[in-house]
Amino acid sequence: MLPLEGVVVVALEQAVAAPFATRQLADLGARVIKVERPSGDFARAYDTTAKGMASHFVWLNRNKESVTLDLKDPADRAFMDRLLDNADVFVQNLAPEASTRLGLGKDRLTARYPRLIVGDISGYGSSGPYRDKKAYDLLVQCEAGLVSITGGPEEPAKAGISVADIAAGMYAYSGVLTALYERERTGRGGAFEVSLLDALSEWMGYPYYYATYGDAAPQRTGARHAAIAPYGPFTVGDGSQVFLAVQNDREWQTLCETVLDDVALVTDERFATNPARVEHQEDLTAVIERAFAVCTAEQIVQRLEAAGIANARMRTLSEFAQHPQLRERDRWREVASPVGPLHALLPPVTMDGREHRMTAIPALGEHTEMVRAEFGDGPR
């Protein structure tokens, strides 16, 4: 038995944030009924790269039942209430105020369903001057200051994945789990909200403190670190790059003595402390790459491993898909879909003696008739 078996989640969701939260609930055994407009979650049409399906949709929607409803139609709207009669959790991430106009606002729902947990996900929150502002991941990254510190010295860049959506989805997921735990003790549900801006702002803690109490904001340093050195990519003799990370002066001493073979660097005033190394990044890079110039990447990695210095090779996505650590730990599964089986990674939290649910990605409206028949006669 999985931890959330028996929990029914109704999700009026689209795009990334809410589907990411509810997929994790489904992975743990919850029944997730995904309510889509007749045209479907628009993330279904982002691309066709996963054998004809959208990569985002494949990632976010396994284990769910798809039900299509037109909530502006009185009969479908009444059936939505029937679903909520039978639900433990309701999650939505519609445009601001859209759920309230549909009669699905938290005040009405918590009054009508005292045991229901209502989770609202928005771009900027339910109050404040940005309440009605449209919010997409890149735009929230900009508003949270993330883009200003990401990229290289000449040009800012967004993160390569939807970090604002993912952050909000993670906090919504933990919010549901927290509310379920509280309901076990009190017998009552309740409401919570998560905004993309609030979620990503929490993740901006280090640069906020660095900029607020330091002399300046962290500089854009590409794959290097603005506050730790050496930390990032270094070119080796075969022209490839090895990434390494030194976290403290003890590791710096080890690097100098056993990898760079230059003990004098330990007391060089340019490199004796981490702040000094950050200040003299160009000199530091030159010193390290000069030592690496006579070796291949494989030789450098072996020396770093032997010295206990953290390191990595930058893998392409095709190399990631064949990662030996994931393969040896049997992390890949196949899930069914309307276009045939697709690969999927097991969720990161492993449970002794149990495995997460890894069932099909639904076709649009695939479960509509089944769910209508099941819930057509009243609450369970």
pLDDT in tens, 54-64: 999 999 999 99
The pLDDT value given to residue 377: 57
Q: Which helix (H) or strand (E) holds 287?
A: helix 281-292
Question: What confidence tens digit (pLDDT) does each residue in 68-106 have?
Answer: 999 999 999 999 999 999 999 999 999 888 999 999 999
Residues 39 and 17 sit within 8 Å (Cβ to Cβ): no
Say whether the peptide bond before residue 230 is cis (omega within 30 degrees of 0). yes
Euclidean distance between the first and the last CA atom of the chain, given in angstroms as a whole number: 21
Residues 89 and 8 sit within 8 Å (Cβ to Cβ): yes
Q: Quick one: how far is CA 220 from the chain centroid?
A: 22
**Beta-bridge partner residues of 335:** 342
Could you give the angle at the alpha carbon of 42 between the alpha carbons of 40 and 43, nearest 5°?
Answer: 115
Question: What confidence tens digit (pLDDT) does each residue in 122-159 have?
Answer: 999 999 999 999 999 999 999 999 999 999 999 999 99
Q: Is the pLDDT score of 379 beyond 70? A: no
Q: Which domains does the chain carry? A: 8-203+324-375 (3.40.50.10540), 231-312 (3.30.1540.10)
The pLDDT value given to residue 50: 97
The pLDDT value given to residue 27: 98
Residue 169 to residue 177: CA distance in whole angstroms: 12
pLDDT tier, 314 (very low <50, low <70, confident <90, very high otherwise)? confident
The pLDDT value given to residue 209: 95
The pLDDT value given to residue 380: 46
Burial group, residue 124, by CB count within 10 angstroms (0-12, 13-18, 19+): buried
pLDDT above 90 covers a percentage of the chain that reads 93
pLDDT above 70 covers a percentage of the chain that reads 99
**Residue 272 in tokens:** 């004796």
> What does DSSP say about strands 89-92 and 117-122: parallel, antiparallel, or unpaired?
parallel
Q: Please compute the mean of the pLDDT values over residues 168-180 and round it to a whole number.
A: 98
**Residue 306 in tokens:** 């032997």
Question: What confidence tens digit (pLDDT) does each residue in 17-50 have?
Answer: 999 999 999 999 999 999 999 999 999 999 999 9
Q: Is the pLDDT score of 378 beyond 70? A: no
Average pLDDT, the chain: 95
Residue 296 to residue 303: CA distance in whole angstroms: 11
